[in-house]
Amino acid sequence: MLAEQFGKLVRDQRVRKRLRQVDVARSAAVSRTVLSRLEQGRAQPVQTDVLDRLLQVLEISPQVVARSGPDAARRQARLELQSRLEQQRIRHLRLAIELVDDEVAAPIMIAKAWATVQLWRRNATCNSYYIERWSEVLRLSPRKMAKAMASLGDWEDALFQNSPWSWAWN
């Protein structure tokens, strides 16, 4: 991978400067075969001093960018967020199945979720959108509620994050 990138860099600069391989190889004290293979991306392992000499002859000062810096941290954070959101979806879908499957427990569970939504409303501790949207869902029968929880649309992640069901898995 690095050999390919450096080979392309060396070739592009050599061509730009209108130099022949044999002249660059001689100036850098490098075999023309090594230079040729490097430029073709077929280099055998190349020692760093060989690259250093080629880069110096061609007046190239490459800047190495760390791949483990902030970009990697951001990617990792995104992956962790996606994982948490997926776990929230799975928990809610399992709960939806439980509501449909257990006719005795469903009304008790729904009443508990209603109590949470009413607490949000009374104390103004949650955005009114979540209160209204969850109220709409909780008014449905357990079967329709399960269907609704499986298809909340664009706001699904936000609704699952602000969920009246959090007591079910805490």
Quick one: 38 and 102 in the same domain?
no
pLDDT at 64: 66
The answer to whether residue 107 sits within a structural domain is: yes
Flag whether 127 is in a domain.
Answer: yes
Answer whether residue 102 is part of any domain: yes
157 and 103 part of one domain: yes
Q: Quote the domain boundaries for residue 103.
A: 89-168
CA distance 135 to 123: 16
Number of domains forming the structure of the chain: 2
Are 107 and 50 within one domain? no
CA distances from 23 to 15, 52, 95, 101, 124 (A): 12, 16, 73, 80, 78
- The CA distance from 136 to 159, in Å, is 12
Residue 15 falls inside a structural domain: yes
Can you give the pTM of this predicted structure? 0.56
Query: Up-side HSE of residue 69: CA atoms within 13 Å toward CB?
Result: 4
Residue 8 belongs to domain with CATH number: 1.10.260.40
Choose one of 33, 57, 81: the last residue of a domain.
57
65 assigned to some structural domain: no
In a domain, 145, yes or no: yes
| pLDDT for position 170 | 67
pLDDT tens sequence for the chain (170 residues): 677 788 888 888 889 889 999 998 899 998 888 888 888 887 677 788 888 888 898 888 877 666 666 777 888 889 999 999 999 999 999 999 999 999 999 999 999 999 999 999 999 999 999 999 999 999 999 999 999 998 888 888 899 989 999 888 76
Indicate whether 96 and 160 sit together in one domain. Answer: yes
Length of the chain measured in residues:
170
d(CA 92, CA 123) in angstroms, rounded, equals 25
Is residue 68 assigned to a domain? no
Does 126 fall in a domain?
yes
pLDDT at 68: 60
